[in-house]
Amino acid sequence: MSTKNQPVGYLPDECPPILELIPFALQQIVVMFPATVLVALLTGFHVSTTIFASGLATLCFILITGRKIPLYYGSSFSYIAAICSIMGPAAIMGTEEFTNLAIRNERIAIAQFGIVMSGLVSIAAGLIVKRSGKATIDKVLPPTVTGSISIIIGLSLANAAMTNACTYPSSVTDPAQQGLATNMAWVIAIITLVSTILYSVYLKGKLSQLPILFGLITGYIAAAIIGAITGIPFISFNTVQGGIISLPVFTLPKPSLAAVAAIMPIAIATIPESSAHIYQLDIYVKDLARKKNSPKKYDIENLLGLNLVGDGIGDIVSGFIGGPAGTNYGENISAMAISRVFSVPVLIAASIITMIISCFTPLINIVYSIPTAVIGGLSIYLFGVIGAQGIAIMMDKKVDLFKSKNLAVIAVILIVGLGGSFGFKDGMIPMFGTQFPAIATAAVFGIVLNLLLSIGEKAE
C-alpha cells in the first residue's frame, strides 16, 4: 500500500532522522522550560540544578518504563506550597537566607528528603495498580475523573498564560513608557499565538510537526523588531552571570520528619493527574497509529502502573541531586498532539540537551532571553489544548453526560479545582485550619464522590 497519503507523524518506537530529531527535541524543551524554571524560582531551588534534574529524571523515567511511554518529567506545581513550608525565608528572593548559599542549601537538602520519600509513594501506587488490574483502576479513576482533572489542569493555568502575555521587562520603570510596553507585549503575544495556530493548521508535511518552535521563532523576531523600534528591551542575554561553564549546584538529602510530613502526602494527590496524562497520550497515539495503518498495538493506558513507578523514580532522582518534585508534563503532551511526534528518541534527545544547557551559561541565557510575552502567546494555545484533551478523554470513553452520577463528579471536580485555583492565593484552599492544593483537592473529592456513588451500582 502506498504511504504517500499517510499522515506525517512519529509513533513512540519510531525515530526521526537526526536533522528532524534535534528541532523536535528543542520544541519539547521550549514547552517544558517556563513551568520547570518557575517552580525553581518560587521555591528557592537552584535553577540550573532544577533544569539538569528535569533532564536526568526524564532519561531515567524513559529507561525504567522500557522506552514505551513518551512523557517528559518536569517540576510540579502541586508541591510548591509544601516545599516552601520547608524552605521558609530561603525561598524568598532577596532575603538574607536566600542569598546565603549555606542556609539555602541546608533548607534544600531538608526538602530533598521529603521529595525522595514522595517518590516511594508513587512507586508503591504503581505496583498496586499493576497488581490490581485495569478494572480496578477504571473504577477508581474513571474518565469522568481523569477527563475533568485534565480540564482543570489546563484551565487553571489560564491566568498564568494571560498574565505572561502582557508582561514587559522589569527594567521598564518609567510610568509613561509602561503603558506602551504593555501594549507591545500584547502585540508580541498575539503574533506568537496567531502564527503558532496558523503553522499548526496550514503547514503540511514535515514542517507541520514544528508549529510551536516556528511560532516561538516568529514571536522572538517580532520582539526583536519591536524592541529595536521602541527601545524596550524585550530580549536580554545577561540574565545569568558567570563564566561559560557553570555546573549545577548538587546537594544531598538530609533526613527530616517535618519534610516527610509536609511533602510526602502530596504524591497521593498527584496520581490522578499523572493518570489523566496517560489516558490523553493513549488516545492520540492510537489515533496516529490507526491513521498510519500501523500493524503494532500501542496500549499505553494499560501502562499506568509502570508510569507511576517511573514517576516515583523521577522524584527520587530529582530529589537526590537537588531538584524539586515533579510529574510528567501536560504541556509536552500538547506539543506532541499538535505536532504528532510521539517519538521516545526525541524525548531522550530533549533530556540530554536539557542537561547540557544547564551546564553552559550562554545556553541558559539564550533560553532565558525568550520574552515572557512570547511564552504567554504559546501558553494560551498549549494550556488550552491540555483542557481540550480532557474533553477528548470523555468523548473517547463515551461518557454519558446525562447521567446524574457523572454530572455530579464532573461538576465537583471542575468547581473545586477552578474555584480553588482562582479564588484563593496561590491556588491553596484554606480548610480546617490548613491549606490544600486546589487541583489535588478536586481530584481527591472527585475520586471519593465517584466511589461513594458507585456503591451498589451494577457493572455495565
Taking only the tens place, the pLDDT of each residue in 247-290 is 888 999 999 888 887 788 778 767 777 877 888 899 889 999 99
**Domain annotation covers residue 219:** yes
Q: What pLDDT shows up at residue 1?
A: 40
Separation between Cα atoms, residue 21 and residue 89, nearest integer Å: 42
Separation between Cα atoms, residue 314 and residue 56, nearest integer Å: 8
pTM of the model: 0.76
pLDDT in tens, 98-139: 678 888 899 999 999 999 999 998 999 889 888 887 677 778
Separation between Cα atoms, residue 345 and residue 62, nearest integer Å: 9
Look up the domain containing 114 and give its range: 18-453
**Domain annotation covers residue 6:** no
Burial string for 358-372 (b: 16+ CB within 10 Å, else e) reads bbbbebbbebbbbbb
Separation between Cα atoms, residue 446 and residue 383, nearest integer Å: 22
Separation between Cα atoms, residue 240 and residue 249, nearest integer Å: 14
Separation between Cα atoms, residue 191 and residue 373, nearest integer Å: 10
**Domain annotation covers residue 272:** yes
Separation between Cα atoms, residue 306 and residue 344, nearest integer Å: 16
Task: Tell me the chain's radius of gyration from C-alpha atoms.
Answer: 22
160 touches 328 (CB < 8 A): no
Question: The cell 518557575 sits on which residue?
Answer: 38
Neighbour tally for 287: CB within 10 Å: 16
Separation between Cα atoms, residue 63 and residue 253, nearest integer Å: 24
**Domain annotation covers residue 331:** yes
Q: What pLDDT shows up at residue 93?
A: 59
Separation between Cα atoms, residue 333 and residue 323, nearest integer Å: 22
Q: What pLDDT shows up at residue 3?
A: 47
The total domain count for the chain is: 1
Separation between Cα atoms, residue 198 and residue 8, nearest integer Å: 17
Separation between Cα atoms, residue 49 and residue 68, nearest integer Å: 27
Residue 204, classified by CB atoms within 10 Å of its CB into exposed (0-12), middle (13-18) or buried (19+), is exposed
51 touches 378 (CB < 8 A): no
309 touches 119 (CB < 8 A): no
315 touches 326 (CB < 8 A): yes
**Domain annotation covers residue 3:** no
**Domain annotation covers residue 7:** no
Instruction: Give phi and psi for 439, each to the nearest 5.
Output: -65, -45
Average pLDDT, the chain: 86
Question: What are the angstrom distances between the C-alpha of 392 and each of 60, 74, 144, 294, 450?
Answer: 29, 23, 11, 22, 20
Instruction: Give phi and psi for 10, each to the nearest 5.
Output: -130, 125
Separation between Cα atoms, residue 281 and residue 382, nearest integer Å: 15
Q: What pLDDT shows up at residue 33?
A: 81
**Domain annotation covers residue 459:** no
**Domain annotation covers residue 2:** no
Q: What pLDDT shows up at residue 458?
A: 66
Per-block mean pLDDT, blocks of 10 residues, the chain (460 long):
62 91 91 81 83 95 93 82 76 68 89 93 88 77 84 83 87 86 95 93 78 89 94 81 80 89 76 81 90 87 90 94 88 87 95 91 79 87 82 85 93 92 82 80 88 77
Torsion of CA 206, 330, 381, 412, to 10 degrees: 150
